[in-house]
A and B are shown apart, each in its own frame.
Chain A
Amino acid sequence: MTVTERPRVRAHDHPHPPPRRRSIGSVEVLAALLILLVIFRNPFATWIEKYPALQTWTTVFVSVMVQATPFLVFGVTLSAVIAVFVPRSFWAKALPRHPALAVPVASCAGVILPGCECGSVPIAGSLIRRGVTPSAALAFLLAAPAINPIVLTSTAVAFPNNPEMVVGRGVASLIVAMVMGWLWLRLGRPEWIRLPRRPDLDDLSKGRAFWAAVRHDVVHAGGFLVLGAMAAATINILIPAKWMQWVADKPALGVIAMAILAVLLSLCSEADAFVAASLSQFSLTARLAFLVVGPMVDLKLLSMQAGVFGRRFAFRFAPTTLVVATVGAAIVGTVIFT
């Protein structure tokens, strides 16, 4: 399943005229595009200024990207370190051999990764490449952005009067991550996961391999992050606040609405608690659902997962996670808040 196991690229294909020609083309297209943009900069900017909704969209989009870039770069760097410098044998020793036991261990290991969900997608991809059982890597992918110390601290700050929200978030997220890991063990098929081809790292020196992995992952995961950020900015502009008031008055609907809202808004897991706190018209259980679902499933994650693991995987995994996370949060919330 891992890329490094496939046959080496045939040497006689190189040098290769068509790729060469295309390679010049792609830089030329880029240069031409940039020149056009510099020329049309002012008309473009004034055009945007005329539409406040469009301008707000641009601000929100750029903000999501600026906010996510450090976490993306951090995650990509860590995943390149895993890919290049951590030997395969390490994971065999670090995780219990039995996959069913590796799942809870990997979920709890999420505590040590201070970051948000943009970073954990490439890391999980890198773990799978290095031979970690997918169920454990996926449990880690879901747990890490929700239960790390930064996220739990910001949750505590955002809910000063409801410290049980922090406990609820940690517990519910861990449970959901483990359930999803075990579900994958029972129902998942390895062929659903298709990691993108990466340059053949084993051929290269450590330094070149590291930078090749960084470049590759930033361009892939970053490109999908852009798509997700655009979707999130669109939703941010479009959702009318009056609907929310109407939905909030109906308890069961409130939980589902907050889960869906978490998917659509695609907030960073370090910030979502503050937004949840401000949505005070919703019940605490509904807001817990928002906090549990958000770091596990959202538009930008769906886009990044489709890019890193393949579409067949993402379109099965994300909806299942959404259902499991919503139900899990509803149960934990009912236990804690009543």
Chain B
Amino acid sequence: MNRQAQGVILLLLGGAILKASFTDMFLRYVKEGLRPFLIAAGTMLVLAAVTTILYDLKYGSALDTECAEEEHGDHGHQHKEPRIGWMLLAPVLGLLLVAPPALGAFAADKSGTVVLQEQAAFPPLPDGDPVQISVLDYATRAIFDKGASMKDAKGTDRKVQISGFLSPGPDGQFVTRMMLSCCAADARPLKVAMAGNRPAGLADDAWVEITGRYSPKTVKDPVNGQDIPYIEVLDWKAIDPPRNQYE
């Protein structure tokens, strides 16, 4: 691969990274906090591409010492190296042409649910009826607090609202959210089982908004044996995937 082609590939890679970070597409793959670094890296790649192409036009390939090296350098090793650059087309294609979706039911079904962290105290839920909370918040309160912090002053369970996608489970579908620490390679599912008026007629990966109450029931995750809480579903509706599908 010569310098012009390298320049074009760098331009494509930088452009693909910039496009993903200026739209919300990058949220399918990494955490929101990475955005400034992605923009900086994309800009750097584009600059490297532009200087490569400009220098190549200005000085031509007469000064391209790499071409000479390829012929006079030692054998075997030398020839493979320029070719490895072609591999950089793969992420470009992945980002610009395929643009794969955020992880869904397939990945969730394969991995064990997140190991929840016990908290010393659970702050009261925010206002609202139903109150919107994250799947992580619901699961943690349900498992460690036995729902106590999800009751109102009179001691009845408050209505909570969580959203996630449907994934296969041993007892009907789970409502699931993937959690990221860094990128989708380290994503772990956060599963909540459903009782009561649970969603019907929806395929796995469909997004739903669940309104429900705490349920004391739990079930063991078939993969890693962790406790998965239930939610008593009062009402549900199908929704579009949110802007950031991870928690």
**Interface membership of A94, Cβ < 8 A:** no
In the complex, how many residues of chain B place their beta carbon closer than 8 angstroms to a beta carbon of chain A? 86
- If over half of A's interface residues share one DSSP class (helix, strand or loop), that class is named, otherwise mixed; here it is helix
Chain B hits for A233, CB < 8 A: 185
- Nearest to A66 among chain B residues (CB) is B29
Question: With contacts A66-B38, A280-B115 known, is A19 near B64, CB below 8 A?
Answer: yes
Are A59's CB and B28's CB within 8 A? yes
- Nearest to A160 among chain B residues (CB) is B117
Number of A-B residue pairs with CB-CB distance less than 8 Å in the complex they form: 259
**B19 to A: closest C-beta gap in Å:** 11
Interface membership of chain B positions 105-117, coded 1 if the CB is closer than 8 angstroms to chain A and 0 otherwise: 1110011101101
Interface centre among A9, A22, A218, A266 (most CB of B within 10 A): A218
Q: Using a CB-CB cutoff of 8 Å, which residues 166-218 of chain B contact chain A? A: 181-186, 188
**Interface membership of B132, Cβ < 8 A:** no
| Residue in B28, B44, B98, B186 whose CB lies within 8 Å of A45 | B98
Are B45's CB and A62's CB within 8 A? no
Interface membership of chain A positions 218-237, coded 1 if the CB is closer than 8 angstroms to chain B and 0 otherwise: 11101110110110110011
Question: With contacts A60-B185, A64-B183, A241-B110 known, is A33 near B91, CB below 8 A?
Answer: no
| Residue in B65, B88, B93, B183 whose CB lies within 8 Å of A66 | B183
A281 to B88, CA, bound (A): 37
**Interface membership of A103, Cβ < 8 A:** no
| Residue in A41, A275, A280 whose CB lies within 8 Å of B186 | A275
Looking at A83-91, A128-136, A192-200, the stretch in contact with chain B turns out to be: A192-200
A45 to B185, CA, bound (A): 21
Are B110's CB and A27's CB within 8 A? no
A: interface residue count bin:
35 or more
A223 to B5, CA, bound (A): 14
Chain B hits for A311, CB < 8 A: 77
| Residue in B48, B68, B86, B111 whose CB lies within 8 Å of A241 | B111
Chain A hits for B186, CB < 8 A: 267-268, 271-272, 274-275
A-B contact pairs, 24 of them (CB 8 A): A13-B68, A15-B60, A19-B67, A20-B61, A23-B4, A48-B100, A52-B105, A59-B107, A66-B17, A69-B17, A69-B41, A69-B45, A160-B117, A197-B78, A203-B63, A215-B51, A216-B66, A219-B6, A219-B88, A222-B88, A223-B88, A226-B88, A268-B186, A307-B84
